[in-house]
Amino acid sequence: MDAFLSQYFDLDIMWRSLPDVLSGFWVTIQLWLVASVLSLIWGLVLSLLRQLPGRAAAPIRALTIVYIDALRGIPLLLVVLLISGGLGALASEDVIADWIGLPRWFGKPDPFWYGVFAITLTYGAYMAEVYRSGIEAVPSGQMQAARSLGMSYAQAMRKVVVPQAVRKVFAPLLNDLTALMKDTSLVLVIGLAEVVSIGQDIQAETFNSSALVLGAILFLVVTIPLARIVDRQIAKQQIRYQRA
């Protein structure tokens, strides 16, 4: 029992590794926030492309569906490796410019941005489906009313349909953001010093897992409140349902 406790909950090791683990967690948080914002935007763009009206847009719709299906069906880890290896190599062969092939924007190293790209590409596809369910849940009378007032399709989407759709899918989107946060740890395979990779290094040095447990606790500090927000939101929607 003592061996078990000291393997996972050695307070001394936790205390000593705290600064490193915290700095790793800060990287995780930054990766999470940047990738979240971009995924939320990219997902919305994809869902709108997927539902573009009219015959002329059929190829765009088809391509978008292929993209969404493909990225939802491939492991994120694989996308991370494809992006980092691929972009780096293409940049060194001068096929693409360095600023995109070896991105170092805002003082962040290229693995950070490869991670952002890969996560956004994948989670954008997940979120596109979430948005779509929200858009489809908005009664068709809303679009008709907006159009009957002379609003264009784009205006009706922007002012009437999307705002209602986003409200409906707030909870599932937050769930995706929680999953996204956990998946940021995959970027350690391309050498980003985020919280899990730092915990792993300490584990290798000390033969002790307490730094990783500390990392786990930090994740929970963020994800558990998110889960409660989701619960509250679902309860609120149910009340609104009963009133309507």
Partner 1 sequence: MVRLEGVHKRFGRLEVLQGIDLEVKRGEVVCVIGASGSGKSTLLRAINLLEPAEQGRVFLEGVEISGTKGLNDVRRRIGMVFQQFNLFPHKSVLENVTMAQRTVLDRPKQEAAERARSLLERVGLADKLEEYPDRLSGGQQQRVAIARALAMDPHVMLFDEVTSALDPELVKEVLDVMRELAREGMTMIVVTHEMGFAREVADRIVFMDEGLVVEQGPPAEVLDSPREERTKRFLGLVLEH
- In terms of Cα–Cα distance, which of 45, 191, 42, 179 is closest to 115? 191
- Residue 216's contacts (CB-CB under 8 Å, 6 or more residues apart) are none
Instruction: Choose between 160 and 196: whose C-beta lies nearer to partner 1.
Output: 160
* Residue 236 within binding range of partner 1, rule CB under 8 A: no
* Residue 228 within binding range of partner 1, rule CB under 8 A: no
What is the pattern of x (binds partner 1, CB under 8 A) and - over residues 103-122? --------------------
* Residue 81 within binding range of partner 1, rule CB under 8 A: no
Long-range contacts of 106-111 (CB under 8 A, 24+ apart): 108/30, 109/192, 110/84, 111/84, 111/187, 111/190, 111/191, 111/192
Footprint of partner 1 on 8-37 (CB under 8 A): none
Give the residue, chosen from 19, 106, 141, 204, that forms a contact with partner 1 under the rule CB under 8 A. Answer: 141
* Residue 75 within binding range of partner 1, rule CB under 8 A: no
Question: Are 126 and 72 a contacting pair, CB within 8 Å?
Answer: yes
- Map tokens 């930054």 to a residue: 30
CA distances from 171 to 37, 52, 91, 107, 131 (A): 16, 25, 39, 33, 11
Cα Rg of the chain, angstroms: 22
- As measured in angstroms, the least distance from the Cβ of 169 to partner 1 is 14
> What's the token pair of residue 200?
């792993």
* Residue 38 within binding range of partner 1, rule CB under 8 A: no
Q: Which stretch binds partner 1 (CB under 8 A): 61-69, 82-90, 111-119, 160-168?
A: 160-168
* Residue 171 within binding range of partner 1, rule CB under 8 A: no
* Residue 56 within binding range of partner 1, rule CB under 8 A: no
Q: How many residues bind partner 1 (CB under 8 A)?
A: 21
Residues that bind partner 1 (CB under 8 A): 139, 141-142, 144-152, 155, 159-160, 163-164, 167, 240, 243-244
